Amino acid sequence: MAVDMSTRLDRVLGAKTAKAMAEQLSLHTVRDLLRHYPRRYARRGEVTRLEDLQVGDRVTVLAQVRSVDSRKMRNRPGTLTEVTVGDGAGTMKLVFFNHRHARLVPGAWGLFAGTVGEYRNRLQFAHPDCHLMTGDDDEDWARALIPIYPASKDVSSWVIQRSVKLLLDASGGFGFVEDPLPAELRARYGLPSLPAALLDIHRPTTAEDVEHAEHRLKWDEALILQLTLAARRRAAALEPGIARPGRSGGLLDAVDAALPFDLTDGQRAVGEELSAELARELPMHRLLQGEVGSGKTVVALRAMAQVVDAGGQAALLAPTEVLAAQHARGISAMLGPLGRAGELDGDPAGTRVVLLTGSLKAAARREARAAVADGSAGIVIGTHALLQEGVEFADLGLVVVDEQHRFGVEQRDALRAKGSRPPHVLVMTATPIPRTVAMTVYGDLETSTLRQLPSGRGGVKSSVVPAREKPTWLDRAWTRLREEVAAGRQAYVVCPRIGEDAGGEEEPEDADGAPGEETSDRRPPLAVLDVAEGLREGPLAGLRIEVLHGRLTPEDKEARMRAFAGGEIDVLVATTVVEVGVDVPNATVMVVMDADRFGVSQLHQLRGRVARGRHEGLCLLVSEAPTASATGQRLAAVAGTSDGFELARLDLETRREGDVLGAAQSGRRSGIKLLSLLEDEQLIAEARAEATALLATERGLADHPGLAAEVAALATDERAQYLEKA
Ligand code: ADP
Ligand code: MG
């Protein structure tokens, strides 16, 4: 039988098995099966995880039968068989009703798979699947390490193990597997061949075998992903945009002259980088990451001004209406008459700043759209309403996306398609992105970083308030807030929920919320409306308190933000609508209620709101989580550092990687199984360099058909996923 990687499994396995593998594990081809790696390995006689098991875990354990005890059941007919198995470290009970495996006898070794239950304080498996060692299996069972695969209802770990072995035996050692990695590259990095690595991952003898194999297989994942991304970059590079060089005496010079502060060195350096890239025909694709408050907006404004000077238009995309309105206000104020060209008091040398959001009244929207279409609006600011059909730009030269984490790749692409030729793209994010994530999820973007905060900033002090352990600390928190207000400052109180009835943002708005700790018996998260009420009547009585959340009309939201910015409100009780970019320098205190309901990055974002002025900010993270719990520790870590990059790392640690990738590119879609964004930074960087080098030559992947096939397979997968979604 001629087998290769793309052979369908129903050609090599039994029809029933192949069908179950396809349906339950999405394994369709030999490649899929061989790339379905063990999750871990069971070792004979070694302390396995029997001890660490928890009720509800679905597991496979390798253990030896210690005793078998059958007896008639008292309350119903039939027999109950209790089998005690052990692995040297712990023991556990298997329970069978009216059924007894003939080979379950003391001394027998077997793999037992099932869901862990509990009976009289002891762990037990009721009716586990058993796979007992037989003469035929001897060779398999004598192995020191037995692979435990991600399994499903009808495809157990050992069915997978046997299927792999079948392929192995039929092919005499995976002889049909061609190695996609160039031999030269393998030699340089000391990587085993693919057949050898597959053999070692599926049938290792020692832990070192597994390690070497994994390293090699991670290379496949990293290189293929990087090749895909590099190809995307190259394709984008082949479609020329329009050069937007700067010119002196234009809007950019006027902006610089009007700035009330000196640019930081970082702003200047990034500014030059952007300016040079905009001056080229090759469309810029750049990610600008910078701490909250590092002054990204002015960097973007200067880039937009350069594009306007070159005759084009620039669009600034914000994730919320509040933020879009704030940007429009801020930029208009900064430009003064230069932003009102065409109006009576406008400067004809300037341009028009137009705000285009979903909440505009029909007439205003028509007017705004007209200004965008005839090119008189050089700077267009809006939310995703800008992406709607019907918004036509005269000559879109630059797209700036603020706070990337709320925007998907698709939206970026939609806006990019608004230009007759691809516009330059600048994506800004305040959530620092670990280098590995930047190289994978955002692998089609180049990155710039603003590390420095403008001088004269107070910074933020953060502490955790354990509301249950130290109730008096919460009282103290409200006293601190009153003191700040008495000193002329303002405060935010942030809650995870709006309240009253469901709808809109009822669920915590965070996409990156606290990891996997949701249990149904937790009380619902604190709500803006309830908390505001409680504060008005209780600890903050007499202060001017208002609420802000996503269920308000855009006009109300806007009005409240304006009132808060104008100092007419002391305390704003809000959802995470204040998370992104809201800029009120006089606000110095933030109290986050139920802080454990927010993700690490989100808390960091939130507290950035009180680090905007000359005064030192104070951020209090209120939580009922015990300080010693993992959640408590996570909050303590957030309070303990203001280094966004360290927090991004922490964030990555506390979330599953699939979730991280999920934001833009699901784990499966990116073909990542073994690669760890946390631990494999060096490997990813090397793979990126190799991918770029491979594609830089005339012939591209022409000399590496194996690699080309793998890249194509990933693309097919991606397309399949896309179709599934559609
Ligand atoms: P972010 O990077 O979080 O978007 P912003 O662009 O909103 O930060 O800037 C935060 C604040 O810092 C704004 O009020 C802005 O005017 C101010 N700012 C920006 N650059 C400087 C600078 N070089 N010196 C002083 N203040 C600055
Ligand atoms: Mg900002």
d(CA 402, ligand 2 centre) in Å: 7
DSSP helix/strand/coil, 554 = helix
Range from 47-61, 303-317, 631-645 carrying the lowest mean pLDDT:
47-61
Q: Whose CA is nearest to atom 12 of ligand 1?
A: 295
Closest-CA residue to 285 (of 184, 414, 412): 412
Residue nearest to atom 15 of ligand 1 (CA): 295
Cβ proximity of 206 and 667 under 8 Å: no
pLDDT tens profile 433-490: 666 666 666 666 778 888 777 766 667 899 999 999 888 999 999 999 999 999 999 9
pLDDT band at 609 (very low <50, low <70, confident <90, very high): confident
Q: Whose CA is nearest to atom 10 of ligand 1?
A: 293
523 secondary structure, DSSP code = P
User: CA-to-CA distance for 142 and 145, rounded, in angstroms?
Assistant: 9
Q: Name the region of 221 (left: φ>0; alpha: ψ -120 to 50; beta: rest).
A: alpha
Atom 4 of ligand 1, residue of closest alpha carbon: 296
By percentage, how much of the chain surpasses pLDDT 90? 35
Question: How confident is the model at residue 443, as a pLDDT?
Answer: 62
pLDDT, residue 139, reads: 59
Is residue 720 predicted with pLDDT exceeding 50? no
Q: Which two tokens stand for residue 569?
A: 């409100």
Ligand nearest, relative to CA of residue 296: 1
Helix (H, G, I), strand (E, B) or coil at 286: strand
pLDDT of residue 654: 65
Q: Which residues line ligand 1 (CB under 6 A)?
A: 261-264, 267, 290, 292-298, 430, 454, 581, 583, 612
Indicate if the pLDDT at residue 188 is higher than 70. yes
Q: What's the mean pLDDT in 170-177?
A: 83
pTM: 0.64
Whether the CB-CB separation of 348 and 341 falls below 8 Å is answered with yes
CA 520 to chain centre: 25
pLDDT of residue 540: 95
280 CA from centroid of ligand 1 (Å) = 27
Going by pLDDT thresholds of 50, 70 and 90, the confidence category of residue 396 is very high
What's the chain's average pLDDT? 82
Residue 501 confidence (pLDDT): 62
- Amino acid identity of residue 393, one-letter, is F
Per residue in 673-688, pLDDT (tens digit) is 888 777 788 898 899 8
C-alpha span between 394 and 370 (Å, rounded) = 10
Give the residue whose CA is nearest to atom 1 of ligand 1.
Answer: 293
Residues 604-620 have a mean pLDDT of 82
Atom 16 of ligand 1, residue of closest alpha carbon? 295
**103 vs 393, residue with greater confidence:** 393
Q: What is the mean pLDDT of residues 640-651?
A: 77
User: What domains does the chain contain, in order, with CATH numbers?
Assistant: 10-178 (2.40.50.140), 251-278+295-429 (3.40.50.300), 460-641 (3.40.50.300)
- Contact present, 318 and 356 (Cβ < 8 Å): no
Please identify which residue in the block is written with the tokens 């408050």. 293
Please check the confidence at residue 719 and state whether its pLDDT lies above 60. no
- Residue 585 alpha carbon, nearest atom of ligand 1: 14
Q: Collapse the DSSP code of 77 into the 3-class scheme (helix H, G, I; strand E, B; otherwise coil) and give the result.
A: coil
Mean pLDDT of 198-204: 93
Stretch 125-137: mean pLDDT, rounded?
73
What pLDDT sits at residue 519? 37
Give the Å distance between the CA of 403 and the centre of ligand 2. Answer: 7
> Residue 295, Cβ neighbours under 10 Å: how many?
20
Q: What is the 3-state secondary structure (H, E, C) of 462-497?
A: EEEEECCCCHHHHHHHHHHHHHHHHCCCEEEEECCE
Which CB contacts under 8 angstroms, 24+ apart, belong to 206-214? Answer: 206/144, 206/145, 207/145, 210/41, 210/145, 214/674
Vertex 508 angle, CA 506 and 514, to 5°: 155
d(CA 83, ligand 1 centre) in Å: 68
Give the tokens for residue 544.
Answer: 């001017």
Distance between CA atoms of residues 266 and 642, nearest Å:
19
Cα of 263 vs centre of ligand 1, distance in Å, is: 9
Q: How many CB atoms lie within 10 A of CB 559?
A: 13
Question: Which of 255, 381, 583, 605 maximizes ligand 1 atoms within 8 Å of its Cβ, making it the mutation to test the pocket?
Answer: 583
Other CB atoms closer than 10 Å to residue 360's CB: what's the count? 18
285 DSSP β-pair partners: 425
CA of 437 to the centre of ligand 2 (A): 21
- Going from the Cα of 424 to the center of ligand 2, the distance in angstroms, rounded, reads 19
pLDDT for 355 beyond 80:
yes
The number of the ligand nearest the C-alpha atom of 300 reads 1
Q: What is the CA radius of gyration of the chain?
A: 30
Q: What digits encode the pLDDT tens for the residues 481-524?
A: 999 999 999 999 999 999 876 444 444 433 333 333 333 346 78
Atom of ligand 1 nearest to the CA of 290: 2
**83 closest CA partner among 61, 101, 58:** 101
Is residue 305 within 8 Å of residue 255, measured between CB atoms? Answer: yes
Q: Any bridge partners for residue 314, and if so which?
A: 379, 398
Mutate to test the pocket of ligand 1, among 255, 256, 261 (most ligand atoms within 8 A of CB): 261
What does DSSP assign to residue 294? Answer: S
Distance between CA atoms of 15 and 36, rounded to whole angstroms? Answer: 19
Listing DSSP states for 79-117 in one string gives EEEEEEEE-SS-EEEEEEES---TT--TT-EEEEEEEEE
For atom 18 of ligand 1, the residue with the nearest CA is 295
In contact, 589 and 570? CB cutoff 8 Å: no
Q: Which of 255, 267, 289, 298 to mutate to test the pocket of ligand 1 (most atoms within 8 A of CB)?
A: 298
Q: What share of the chain is helix, strand, coil (3-state, %, to 5)?
A: 40, 20, 40
**Closest residue (by CA) to atom 17 of ligand 1?**
295
Q: How far apart are CA 641 and CA 622, in angstroms?
A: 17
What's the 32 CA to ligand 1 centre distance in angstroms?
50
Six-digit token pair at 249?
């005496």
Ligand nearest the Cα atom of residue 288: 1
The SS3 assignment for 321 reads helix
Q: Closest Cα to atom 24, ligand 1: which residue?
A: 454
